[in-house]
Amino acid sequence: MNGRAMKVLVGLGNPGQKYEGNRHNIGFMAVDAIADRYGAPQWRKRFQGLAAEVDIDRARYLLLKPMTYMNESGRAVGEAIRFYKISPADVIVFHDEIDLEPGKLRVKFGGGHAGHNGLKSISAHIGNDYQRVRLGVGHPGHRDAVAHYVLHDFSRADRDWLAPLLDAAAKSVGHLVTGEDARFMNAVARVMRPAPAPQAAAKPPPKPAAPQPASEKPEKTAEKPLEPAMAEAALGGDRHETSLGAKLKAWFKRG
């Protein structure tokens, strides 16, 4: 990257195939979606992680996935911001959030880590004054089940919201990197909120059917084909299959 990096977009997760479909890795998935959408070149080993440069609205940004495991994410982030001589305020971290319902997204600046080990490590290395994009994965219901829950793959039922959420966040990230947090959140929320079904005009009551002879059986009515789900479009119904879309399909088949 030539010159000053305006922002570093960090996705949190654990490296390795064992973890790639875990709820805890939704941060990796988010930056993968951004890399896919904006045509980032191949990931390179840098800053104790994988890094890729990307142009968003004619400005250059760094995408970073720490390969230190979640508990040591701050080592990679600290090394990157020291190299580029940027402020912690120029760091945006995408991470899983159990205190938000699945498919919900919130942006927050500063504050504590709420027990998230990745955020805890980053705060230990660069302080608390960085931005977080909280990606809701839901809560298992009991605190003792949290570790197992986040280190488990997304379920098949999650496909209805996961791919659309990642796609919407990637499409709208231009608002986020320019400080328009509310526009970013609203753009994602519009995609995730189902549109109300149009009301059909009132139809006259059907005419009573003519009685059939006892020997005749009524014809079977052909079933109406199901419309493709919203997730299918995000996973591969577009012009081309993204690498993230292919991964999501593989994870859901595996589950």
Tokens of 249: 């399909």
Give the separation between CA 197 and CA 200, rounded to whole angstroms. 9
DSSP 1: -
Placement of tokens 């993968």 in the chain: 32
Question: What residues contact 15, with CB distance under 8 A and at least 6 apart?
Answer: 65, 67, 69
Question: Tokens at residue 95, please?
Answer: 């991470």
Contact status, residue 134 vs residue 107, Cβ threshold 8 Å: yes
Determine the angle formed by the axes of helices 243-254 and 26-37, rounding to 10 degrees: 140
Q: Spot the catalytic one: 24, 95, 116, 175.
A: 24
24 classed as catalytic: yes
Say how many Å lie between the first and final Cα of the chain, rounded. Answer: 39
Quick check: helix, strand or coil at residue 34? helix
The two structure tokens encoding residue 47: 């800053």
CA 103 – CA 156 distance, rounded (Å): 14
Q: Report the DSSP pairing between strands 105-109 and 91-97.
A: unpaired
| Active site positions, annotated | 24
